[in-house]
Amino acid sequence: VDRYAVIGNPVGHSKSPDIHAAFAAATGQRLRYDRLEAPLDGFAATVQAFAAAGGRGLNVTVPFKLEAFALADTLTARAAAAGAVNTLRFQTAEGRIVIEGDNTDGAGLVHDLQHNLHCRLAGARILLLGAGGAARGVLLPLLECRPACLAIANRTPARAHELQAHFAAAAGRLDCLLTAAGTSGPAAARYDVVINATSGSLAGDVPAFAAGAIGPGTLAYDMMYGAEATVFMRHAAALGATAHDGLGMLVEQAAESFALWRGVRPDGGAVLARLRAARD
Ligand code: ATR
């Protein structure tokens, strides 16, 4: 059977094997999906050994998404824009293994927002909190939904400006007003969607944002998830927003990877409902 895995360090707690097993069962695909822990200094060698042994594809998680980007022979447009790779596909051409790099994180986020949470992104006012790898990874897919405006706010403002400059041409092409916003003072207006792409939740921190940015009518989304609501979700809910965690993004990025590998996109919503039921 075709073999796949999630590669990371650590990787023991990854939900990806369960998610992909559920997708395989639901779509009638025969495959095997394991966890693969690479040594911190041995990512490329572990990938090459897996591919040489007949492996067909890998999901890449912390801390290897940048190394995967560097290792790939070819990149999809969204992986190039993200500057990071979370999905590898191996193909053999003239006896040589070619490594294709993709990034399904942004598509997974967009799919969760639009299909599972019934959130309309076209014409929406979006605030993206954070300007690190996670924020960059979702920017192009968000812009492609043609929001009216997308503001990037970051603790270190210079990084928000860098990201805005990097995506300015794409935003112009897609008729979206892309700005770098401050994290203090009053917001120009309330946002329809506020996405926390900072790593603050890991430390129990709520990132700063302008007063009034979140309120009733805002959908607040934390790309993190855990057994309980994140501090950002609780804070946003206290301001009147509806708050969601990133479990749906995890499931839907997996569905996008599965589609790349197998040519059929599984129903992420059904698997997400099962994961949530198992957690509650
Ligand atoms: P990742 O790949 O997870 O995005 P990263 O590239 O290190 O990791 O970026 C982390 C992001 O979270 C950054 O935007 C960071 O803000 P700075 O650029 O100012 O460092 C943001 N971040 C991390 N901890 C934060 C906190 N406690 N409050 C607000 N922002 C935080």
Q: Which atom of ligand 1 is nearest to the CA of 134?
A: 4
| Whole-number pLDDT of residue 202 | 86
User: Would you state the structure tokens that stand for residue 7, as one six-digit string?
Assistant: 């590669």
Nearest to 72 by CA among 51, 91, 88: 88
CATH number of 106-245: 3.40.50.720
- CATH class, range 2-103+249-279: alpha beta
Domain boundaries, the chain: 2-103+249-279, 106-245
| Whole-number pLDDT of residue 280 | 72
Query: Which of 203-240 are b and which e, b meaning 16 or more Cβ less than 10 Å from the residue's Cβ?
Result: eeebbebbeebbbeebbbbbbbbeeebbbbbebbeebe
Active site (annotated) includes residue 65: yes
Categorize the per-residue pLDDT at 184 as very low, low, confident or very high, splitting at 50, 70 and 90.
very high
Q: Are 177 and 148 in contact (CB under 8 A)?
A: yes
Pick from 36-45, 54-63, 121-130, 197-206: least confident? 197-206
Q: Are 243 and 214 in contact (CB under 8 A)?
A: no
Cβ of 156 below 6 Å from ligand 1: yes
Q: How far is the CA of 144 from the centre of ligand 1 (A)?
A: 24
Q: How far is the CA of 131 from the centre of ligand 1 (A)?
A: 7
Q: Nearest C-alpha to atom 25 of ligand 1 is from which residue? A: 200
Distance (Å, whole) CA 184 – CA 3 = 49
Distance (Å, whole) CA 90 – CA 102 = 11
Among 19, 38, 64, 65, the active-site one is 65
Average pLDDT over residues 145-153: 97
Give the residue numbers of the binding site.
Answer: 14-16, 61, 86, 105, 130-134, 154-159, 223, 225, 246, 253
Could you tell me which residues come within 8 angstroms of residue 161 by beta carbon, excluding any fewer than 6 positions away? Answer: 180
Residue pLDDT, tens place only, 99-145: 999 999 999 999 999 999 999 999 999 999 999 999 999 999 999 99
